[in-house]
Amino acid sequence: QAVVTQEPSLTVSPGGTVTLTCGSSTGAVTSGHYPYWLQQKPGQVPKTLIYDTSNKDSSTPARFSGSLLGGKAALTLSGAQAEDEADYYCLLFYSGSRVFGGGTKLTVL
C-alpha cells in the first residue's frame, strides 16, 4: 500500500502565505491521483477544501488554492487568518484504494 507524506506541522503568520505539500511513495503525484485537501478543526468533521488537484466551490475561501508542484500536490494558503488554524489532510486516489496523508497541523501565529 502506498504511503502519502505531509509536513507534520507548519506555522504561518497572520496575513502570510504557506504551502503544504503531499507526496507519494510510488513516485510523482499527478492529476491521475485526483488530489484532495481536507480541513479538520478540533472537534469537527473533516471538510473538503480542494478536489481533483485544484477544484473548489464557493464554500472554500478564495485564499486557498491547489496545484501540483515539483512532483507533489500542494495546498497554498495566501493571507492566512486565525480561523485557518487546523489540521489539513491530503487524499490520493490509487487503483483500488484511497490513501490519506498523515496530516499537517497548521498554526497561525
Which residues are at the interface with another protein (CB under 8 A)?
1, 36, 38, 40, 45-48, 51-52, 55-57, 59-60, 87, 89, 91, 96-103
Contacts of 90 (CB under 8 A, 6+ apart): 4, 6, 20, 22, 35, 36, 37, 38, 73, 75, 100, 101
8/70 with CB nearer another protein:
8
3-state SS assignment for residue 84: helix
Q: How far is the CB of 81 from another protein (least distance, A)?
A: 20
Q: Considering beta carbons, is residue 23 or 103 the nearer one to another protein?
A: 103
- Report, in Å, the least distance between residue 60 CB and another protein: 8
Residue with cell 490520493: 92
Q: How many CB atoms lie within 10 A of CB 87?
A: 18
Q: Of 76 and 94, which CB lies nearer to another protein in the complex structure?
A: 94
- β-pairing, 104-108 with 9-12? parallel
CB of 82 to another protein, least distance (A): 23
Minimum CB distance to another protein, residue 98 (Å): 4
* Residue among 28 and 52 whose Cβ is closer to another protein: 52
Q: What are the Cα distances from residue 10, in Å, to 56, 83, 84, 91?
A: 23, 15, 12, 18
